[in-house]
């Protein structure tokens, strides 16, 4: 007895769907936009823990007062600016700076200029104040004291107990201005609770070359290159339902077209493409596959390709942005005009990009991780960090040996 085509199709689709569902469940658990997301498994700082340990141990080598650090020589290629505050007596600055500098060749270090601001009027409130490793690792440790006008503003902010958003914008602009004075063509503004992978510098320089080339071809100015982003914003967003509806419509039209071709032009087609099989395919099977794609998550179904990408929509956050020196003066003017605004720094920068119409670029894969927070991870004597809500899961897949080989090859080729 021959099975009805609709029944045969239903059985075949059910088997296929179960296989696809099982595959998505076993592979998409790391995607925060997926319904299969497993935070307990995904939030394991595998590479970050390794890199934090490396960074802290490297910083400790500069703790001796007699150590002679390899500071910037001549005009730097890149100025790195960090504003750091005490978090209830805790600081992650050592791991941040250590991960930036561990593994750098002498030539790479000489082409970098590090500025670290302990962002308190009384810098003794910061746990890293007076530490030999800090003085030996950075090229400049500015303070509010060097500018009476800025010191007065900082004192006013601390006296009023203004929000973190207001104070952080002020500190950000302070460090940005300090980096501008170095004459570096590019400025990396980094938060103080992050960790960088081995080889971040040569990847960043290569990316900057690509940004310049692509922006020039597009005849567009660019505001920044983003070295970190939060994957949770790459999911299917209800705000774009019209776009998704159009996509579903075109998919359904394509499926209907295929069914018509099979039914009319393929030998034996009418026997298999019946009214019921067509209705089941268009009305049940295709929608179920679309639902599974949404459930699986945006990063799992359509991962961001490696390389440089123009940011079209909102993205988070401001952990690591590289600015060309040409945009710094207008940006500083904008910061000054919005000094007392209750706007987070990253949102303010995004608004500035929209106002100026400048391109925003992002590098994939990211070269840094946001790891702030006290943690049970780590070893005694090693500053510990833990996964934050703002997290890039792909960063933890990095292999230390592979990165070391890549960095070595880049140095051999003179990339950095």
Annotate 358-376 with b (16+ C-beta within 10 A) or e (fewer): bbbbbbbebbbbbbbbebe
Q: Which range marks the domain in which residue 248 is found?
A: 236-296
Whether residue 376 is predicted with pLDDT greater than 70 in this model: the reply is: no
Structure tokens at 304: 């961001």
Do 193 and 336 sit in the same domain of this protein?
Answer: yes
pLDDT (tens digit per residue) in 162-192: 999 999 999 999 999 999 999 999 999 999 9
Q: Which residues contact 143 (CB under 8 A, 6 or more apart)?
A: 117, 118, 123
What is the per-residue pLDDT across 386-415, written as a single tens digit (0 to 9) for each?
556 788 999 999 999 999 999 999 998 877
Confidence category of residue 267, pLDDT binned at 50, 70, 90: confident
Asked if 133 contacts 62 with a C-beta cutoff of 8 angstroms, the reply is yes
Q: Taking a C-beta distance cutoff of 8 angstroms, is the pair 387, 43 a contact?
A: yes
Confidence class of residue 2 from pLDDT cuts 50, 70 and 90?
low
pLDDT at 380: 38
Q: Are 185 and 324 in contact (CB under 8 A)?
A: yes
The DSSP bridge partners found for residue 224 are: 360
Judgement on whether residues 59 and 197 belong to the same structural domain of the protein: yes
Kindly state whether residues 167 and 60 are assigned to the same domain.
Answer: yes
Examine residue 371 and state whether it is found in any structural domain, yes or no: yes
Task: Tell me how many domains the chain contains.
Answer: 2
Residues facing 360 on adjacent strands: 224
45-69 pLDDT tens trace: 899 999 999 999 999 999 875 556 6
Identify the CATH number of the domain in which residue 89 sits: 3.90.550.10
Instruction: Give the whole-angstrom CA distance, residue 363 versus residue 305.
Output: 10
Q: Are residues 224 and 243 in the same domain?
A: no
Q: Among 22, 17, 20, which Cα is nearest to 9's? A: 17
* 145 shares a domain with 199: yes
Q: Are residues 150 and 178 in the same domain?
A: yes
% of the chain surpassing 90 pLDDT: 68
What span, in angstroms and rounded, lies between the C-alpha atoms of 289 and 299?
17
For 365: left if phi > 0, alpha if psi spans -120 to 50, otherwise beta; the answer is beta
Cβ contact 172:83 at 8 Å: yes
**287 with 395, same domain?**
no
Q: What is residue 363's predicted lDDT score, i.e. its pLDDT?
A: 97
Are 135 and 267 contained in the same domain? no
Instruction: Identify whether residues 213 and 277 lie together within a single domain.
Output: no
Report pTM: 0.88
Summary count for the chain: helices (H), strands (E): 17, 9
**335, part of any domain:** yes
CA distance 327 to 361: 14
Do 141 and 267 belong together in one domain? Answer: no
Q: Is the pLDDT of residue 317 over 90?
A: no
15, part of any domain: no
Residue 188: beta bridge partners? 80, 322
What token pair was written down for 48?
């970050």
Closest CA to 45 of 407, 391, 403: 391
- CA–CA dist 307, 364 (Å, integer): 5
The answer to whether residues 75 and 174 belong to one domain is yes
Answer yes or no: is 4 within a domain: no
Q: Is the pLDDT of residue 382 over 60?
A: no
Same domain, 89 and 226: yes
């Amino acid at each position: 007895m021959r099975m009805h085509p609709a029944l045969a199709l239903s059985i075949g689709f059910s088997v296929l769907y179960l296989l696809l569902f099982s595959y998505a469940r076993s592979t998409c658990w790391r995607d925060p936009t997926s319904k299969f997301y497993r935070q307990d498994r995904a939030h394991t700082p595998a590479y970050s823990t390794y890199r934090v340990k490396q960074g802290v141990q490297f910083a400790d080598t500069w703790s001796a007062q007699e150590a002679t650090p390899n500071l910037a020589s001549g005009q730097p290629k890149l100025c790195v600016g960090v504003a750091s505050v005490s978090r209830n007596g805790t600081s992650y600055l050592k791991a941040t700076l250590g991960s930036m500098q561990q593994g750098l060749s002498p030539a790479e270090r000489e082409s970098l200029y590090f500025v670290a601001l302990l962002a308190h009027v009384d810098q003794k409130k910061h746990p890293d104040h007076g530490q030999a490793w800090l003085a030996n690792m950075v090229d400049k440790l500015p303070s509010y004291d060097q500018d009476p006008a800025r010191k007065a503003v900082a004192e006013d902010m601390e006296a009023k107990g203004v929000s973190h958003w207001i104070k952080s914008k002020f500190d950000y602009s302070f460090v940005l201005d300090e980096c501008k004075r170095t004459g570096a063509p590019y400025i990396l503004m980094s938060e103080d609770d992050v960790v960088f992978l081995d080889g971040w510098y040569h990847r960043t320089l290569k990316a900057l070359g690509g940004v310049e080339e692509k922006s020039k071809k597009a005849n567009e100015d660019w505001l920044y290159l983003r070295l970190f982003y939060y994957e949770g914003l790459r999911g299917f967003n209800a705000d774009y339902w019209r776009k998704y509806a159009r996509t579903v419509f075109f998919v359904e039209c394509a499926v209907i077209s295929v069914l018509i071709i099979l039914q009319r032009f393929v030998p034996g087609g009418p026997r298999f493409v019946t009214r019921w099989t067509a209705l089941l395919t268009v009305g049940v099977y295709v929608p179920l596959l679309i639902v599974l794609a949404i459930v699986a998550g945006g990063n799992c179904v359509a991962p961001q390709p490696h390389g440089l990408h123009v940011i079209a929509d909102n993205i988070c956050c401001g952990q690591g942005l590289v600015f060309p020196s040409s945009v710094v003066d207008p940006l500083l003017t904008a910061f000054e005009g919005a000094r007392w605004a209750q706007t987070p720094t990253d949102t303010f920068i995004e608004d500035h990009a929209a106002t100026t119409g400048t391109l925003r670029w992002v590098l994939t894969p990211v070269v840094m991780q946001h790891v702030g927070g006290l943690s049970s991870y780590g070893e005694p004597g090693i500053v510990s960090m833990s996964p934050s809500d703002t997290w890039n899961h792909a960063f933890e897949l990095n292999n230390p040996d592979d990165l070391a080989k890549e960095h070595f090859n880049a140095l051999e080729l003179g990339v950095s």
